[in-house]
Structure 1
Amino acid sequence: MENLVALVFLLVLVIVVLIKTAVVVPQRSEFVVERLGKYRTTLEAGFHILIPFLDKIAYKRSLKEEPIDIPAQTCITADNVTLEVDGILYLQVVNSMQSAYGIEDYHFAAGQLAQTSLRSAIGKITLDSTFEARETLNGQVVDALDEAASNWGVKVLRYEIKDIQPPKTVLDAMEKQMKAEREKRAEIARSEGQKQAIMNKAEGDRAEAIFLSEGEKMKRINEAEGRAQEILRVAEATAEGIRRVAEALSMPGGKEAANLEVAKKYLDEFGKLAKTNNTMIVPGNLTDMSAMVATAMATFEQVKSGSYPTFQAETSSPQKSG
């Protein structure tokens, strides 16, 4: 019985020794080993044997990227507006020994420093700039944290602002401002449309006036050219008629025929005067038809030769009939 108890005790002792001495470090992890309370070494991934009762694993560190949630905090902008801002911080242990002995709790310290750095950065800008300057704020927080965390064996990778929540009164004012801005843009768009419509109409009226004036101009030019052509054709026809009359007069019997035609026209015209008027003034030598025809023919001959006759006053007194 005593032998059995001793065997069990020995087995338990062996198991404890194995547990104390054999250590397996996972991938992307490091263990900090202390010997009699003092730092001895840092174990990387793999299998390791420790001295039982002398060495112990004091700290375990993961070398993976760690996200830390930064709770919402109250920040005041440069124009005295209160904001509720929260975010998330990403960091990574690069030196396990420094992260164990450089600071008590690097998670807590990084979170607190992120909050204070963010409050300081937001206090330098106005409310309107806050929403547009997220990238700048994130960069300022990372720079402030990374400088302090370098002594902790921790590398700050990035910081992201998750939400910026202004007070309800500020949200209402911003909504009214945005509404007014939208109405302003709409009014500007309407006025620009009306302006463009007026300009287009004026341009159309101008083009129409130009086209009408051009048309009127062409019309008058065409009418003038038509009248000129008419006058030219009438003159040409008159000249041709005179030429033919001259040719006819130079032919045998032409003058006799012209005398007869002149006498006939003379009588016809005086006959018309007698029909339309009750009183008519006639020459004193109305009965001397041959003298009148001879005078007319002599005048025609002078016109044909290029000389013009001289007219003298009638010596005989006119006779009045009626």
Structure 2
Amino acid sequence: MEAYIGYIPFIFIGLIIFFASIFIVKQQTVAIVERFGRFLSIRHSGFQLKIPFIDKIAGKVSLKIQQLDVIVETKTLDDVFVKIKVSVQYVIIREKVYEAFYKLEYPHDQITSYVFDVVRAEVPKMKLDDVFVKKDDIAIAVKNELKDAMLDYGFDIIKTLVTDIDPDAQVKVAMNRINAADREKTAAQYEGDAARILIVEKAKAEAESKRLQGQGIADQRREIARGLEESVEVLNKVGINSQEASALIVVTQHYDTLQSIGEHTNSNLILLPNSPQAGSDMLNNMVASFSASNQIGEAMKKAELEKQKGNQNLLED
């Protein structure tokens, strides 16, 4: 029993040496192994061995795609200060793990410096509105600059994105006011156009109504004239001349009108004059008016003809 107890220290030391000589590397990760402070090898995922107390794991490098967010404050061409957030997605090239681990002490600082340099070179050339429109151009410029610069250090730039553009608070308030005023202006224009269209369409409808009303009145008067003409012809056939027939028709219409007014007890219409002689007087006045109108027309035609003859004589002389 005492002999077995004497082996315990050796067993313990053996276990320590065993566990110190093995290590495990996770998937998508590589380990950098150094011997006496000098690079020895790159170990990939899985179960790995090393000489204990001689070999040392200097560090582990992830081969996953990583993202670095950089916020840059700069000024635009129209003197507006703006904060731009650029997201850089990058990955360490598997074949250049040595360069990525040993050449750059702080890769994040290096990438940030290039992002600042490119953004502050590109944005001051643009107005604020153009920054929003051309944010993809800014991202492409950052990617091109970073890809060439970081390739020698073992970094591959997958993609760069301008994820946020944040102007000064007062500028955003002013932009919102401009946008609101522009929308109100557009709304007022649409309302004005709608009102104008409504007025035009209403005027067209009234004009069409008046035209149809006038056409109806003309058709009504035409039918009345035709009816009167037929009435005169019928009376002429029974031996009543045209003047007597006209007087008879006027008197008949006069009494028909009086009868129509009498049928409505609540009517406020008064027909003047309403004596039996009124129909004859109206007919005589109409005939006199037609006769006077014909005389005036003949006189005007005669004067026009004499004027034309005088002008022609002057031209011949």
- TM-score category of the 2 structures, normalised to the smaller one: 0.5 to 0.7
User: By how many angstroms is 1:77 displaced?
Assistant: 0.8
1:97-151 deviation digits (Å, cap 9, x = unpaired):
3311342222221222223222223222111222333333333323322232222
Q: Does the CA contact (< 8 Å) of 2:74 and 2:123 recur in 1?
A: yes
Partner of 1:56: 56
Query: Which structure: larger Rg?
Result: 1
User: CA 1:84 to 1:230, structure 2 compared with 1: closer, same or farther past 3 Å?
Assistant: same
User: CA 1:33 to 1:224, structure 2 compared with 1: closer, same or farther past 3 Å?
Assistant: farther
Partner of 1:242: none
Partner of 1:83: 82
Cα separation, 2, equivalents of 1:215 and 1:64: 89
- What code does the residue aligned with 2:116 have? Q
Cα separation, 1, equivalents of 2:18 and 2:229: 133
User: By how many angstroms is 1:201 displaced?
Assistant: 1.6
SS at match of 1:183: helix
Name structure 2 gaps, 5 residues minimum.
Answer: 241-317
- What code does the residue aligned with 2:74 have? C
SS at match of 2:27: coil
Cα separation, 1, equivalents of 2:113 and 2:19: 38
Name structure 1 gaps, 5 residues minimum.
Answer: 240-322
User: CA 1:155 to 1:223, structure 2 compared with 1: closer, same or farther past 3 Å?
Assistant: farther
Partner of 2:158: 157
- What code does the residue aligned with 2:210 have? A
Q: Does the CA contact (< 8 Å) of 2:68 and 2:89 recur in 1?
A: yes
User: By how many angstroms is 1:93 displaced?
Assistant: 2.1
Partner of 2:148: 147
User: CA 1:220 to 1:107, structure 2 compared with 1: closer, same or farther past 3 Å?
Assistant: same
User: CA 1:52 to 1:217, structure 2 compared with 1: closer, same or farther past 3 Å?
Assistant: same
Partner of 1:45: 45
Q: Does the CA contact (< 8 Å) of 1:85 and 1:163 recur in 2?
A: yes
SS at match of 2:78: coil
1:75-94 deviation digits (Å, cap 9, x = unpaired):
01122221123343322223
User: By how many angstroms is 1:46 displaced?
Assistant: 0.9
Cα separation, 1, equivalents of 2:214 and 2:85: 74
Cα separation, 2, equivalents of 1:51 and 1:235: 147
Partner of 2:121: 120
Cα separation, 2, equivalents of 1:187 and 1:141: 44
Cα separation, 1, equivalents of 2:177 and 2:140: 32
1:251-278 deviation digits (Å, cap 9, x = unpaired):
xxxxxxxxxxxxxxxxxxxxxxxxxxxx
- What code does the residue aligned with 2:89 have? Y
User: CA 1:104 to 1:236, structure 2 compared with 1: closer, same or farther past 3 Å?
Assistant: farther
User: By how many angstroms is 1:25 displaced?
Assistant: 0.9
User: CA 1:33 to 1:214, structure 2 compared with 1: closer, same or farther past 3 Å?
Assistant: farther
User: By how many angstroms is 1:16 displaced?
Assistant: 4.0
Cα separation, 2, equivalents of 1:236 and 1:157: 112
Q: Does the CA contact (< 8 Å) of 1:102 and 1:151 recur in 2?
A: no
Superposed counterparts of 1:1-322, under 5 Å: 7-8=8-9, 10-70=10-70, 72-95=71-94, 96-231=97-232, 233-234=234-235
User: CA 1:149 to 1:5, structure 2 compared with 1: closer, same or farther past 3 Å?
Assistant: farther
User: By how many angstroms is 1:42 displaced?
Assistant: 2.3
Q: CA RMSD in A?
A: 3.1
Cα separation, 2, equivalents of 1:167 and 1:58: 46
User: CA 1:206 to 1:41, structure 2 compared with 1: closer, same or farther past 3 Å?
Assistant: farther
- What code does the residue aligned with 2:117 have? T
Cα separation, 1, equivalents of 2:210 and 2:106: 87
SS at match of 2:105: coil
How many residue pairs get aligned? The number is 237
User: CA 1:237 to 1:112, structure 2 compared with 1: closer, same or farther past 3 Å?
Assistant: farther
Cα separation, 2, equivalents of 1:214 and 1:102: 99
Q: Does the CA contact (< 8 Å) of 2:72 and 2:119 recur in 1?
A: no
Cα separation, 1, equivalents of 2:219 and 2:180: 58
User: CA 1:228 to 1:108, structure 2 compared with 1: closer, same or farther past 3 Å?
Assistant: same
User: CA 1:81 to 1:228, structure 2 compared with 1: closer, same or farther past 3 Å?
Assistant: same
Instruction: Output the TM-score relative to the length of structure 2.
Output: 0.63
Q: Does the CA contact (< 8 Å) of 2:27 and 2:45 recur in 1?
A: yes
- What code does the residue aligned with 1:93 have? I
Q: Does the CA contact (< 8 Å) of 2:86 and 2:139 recur in 1?
A: no
Instruction: Output the TM-score relative to the length of structure 1.
Output: 0.62
